[in-house]
A = this chain, B = another copy of it.
């Protein structure tokens, strides 16, 4: 881990640089495979699944029997934990629902906004080193609460053609309608274009490697919406003398084990704390099964000492971290001044893991600095807001003349006429 003491502001941008996400290099590959899926449908899906996942599939959809068997395989301790997480995630996302309210902007001019579920959504769950059933909960629960009619899930199968049982259990628990053994670019293409087996959707959600991310970006240019641009995961910790080095070290490592490209940054105004954290990281690192990955991520990571809380906040808002842990005496006060972050964890007993799994907040969050403009996944990620207006004859008599003047000034006379023909019909 790089240690930096009291850096000049000129150096901040360089210190906060993120590893390149490598998307440029894979757009061509992604474009080729997407085109093939568009043209050749299921045949292309089966071909790429054989090529990349090393498995020959006859049917892409996971059968009810496979789901039932998977549910038997998940032990009851894990089931109970998943059910606790589900309840909290449901509670948090359910309460995001906003009541519709009719506004009379002028007498006789009623306007309102109505949130309506996106009918068909697609969820992507990566395969790879860790079976991310928690992401199934995070993506499917708000979809269900929103009222999406069709929730499709793609996740790659292993070399035996099987999907991790916990993923299938979580998906069936929260009401996913269809599950497909598909990963990578081809999964994104299937959900964007639709094939004989896989229905097309209107919006695709979920994390993935750079191939998946590049594919999501490409299909979002034309065919479907996506949740957000994605990049490697990251955490920033703000710590003062009230923080516990053991806890902070554990938090940094929990982010570092995600992937070799994860980024971990500690900001503190306390030089000696930095030394403590460093030695705690060394200590805890040794027992980790994913030590090799964590070591690589830590090589890109930074422990930075700044002069005071204001500087820490300023650097934090400049970085716009996906996860932000505030282990400081005035955690809530400081949290209130955060303007760019995905999810914020306040105090000594709010580890990032809590939000990753079970406290109720969503763990699909903007990375790579996108927290300066994007929200994490929330209930409204699965809904669009339609505006409505109903204007009475009196309302149009009140409002119409202003419309006529403005339309005329914009030289859009047919726009004006749409009001004039109505005003002319009224019996004043």
Query: Interface residues, chain A, CB within 8 Å of chain B?
Result: 23, 77-78, 80-82, 84-85, 87-88, 91-92, 95-96, 98, 101, 103, 105-106, 109, 111, 113, 116-119, 129-134, 166, 202-203, 217, 220-222, 224-225, 229, 244, 246-247, 250-251, 253-254, 256-258, 284, 287-290, 294, 331-332, 335, 338-362, 366, 370-376, 378, 380, 384-393, 395-396, 399, 401-403, 405-407, 409-422, 425
Contacts and interface: CB of A to CB of B under 8 A. Distances in A.
Contacts of A332: 390
A130 B414 CA distance: 13
A391 B251 CA distance: 15
Contacts of A384: 366, 371-375
**Can you list the 8 inter-chain pairs with the closest CB atoms, starting with the nearest?**
A225-B373, A105-B360, A81-B405, A88-B105, A351-B418, A375-B385, A81-B402, A250-B418
A226 to B, nearest CB: 9
Given A389-B350, A411-B131, A413-B257, A80 B343 contact: no
B85 A335 contact: no
Given A84-B399, A103-B360, A350-B390, 7 more contacts: A85-B406, A113-B378, A258-B412, A287-B413, A353-B419, A358-B406, A361-B388
Contacts of A133: 406, 409-410
A359 B399 contact: yes
A407 B78 CA distance: 10
A289 B345 CA distance: 60
Contacts of A375: 384-386
A106 B417 CA distance: 58
A2 to B, nearest CB: 20
A145 to B, nearest CB: 14
A250 B289 contact: no
Contacts of A339: 116-117, 119
Contacts of A411: 129-131, 289-290
B415 A118 contact: no
Given A246-B421, A290-B412, A359-B391, A406 B254 contact: no
A298 to B, nearest CB: 11
A425 B244 contact: yes
A389 B344 contact: yes
Contacts of A418: 247, 250-251, 253-254, 351-353
A242 B356 CA distance: 55
Contacts of A390: 331-332, 345-347, 350
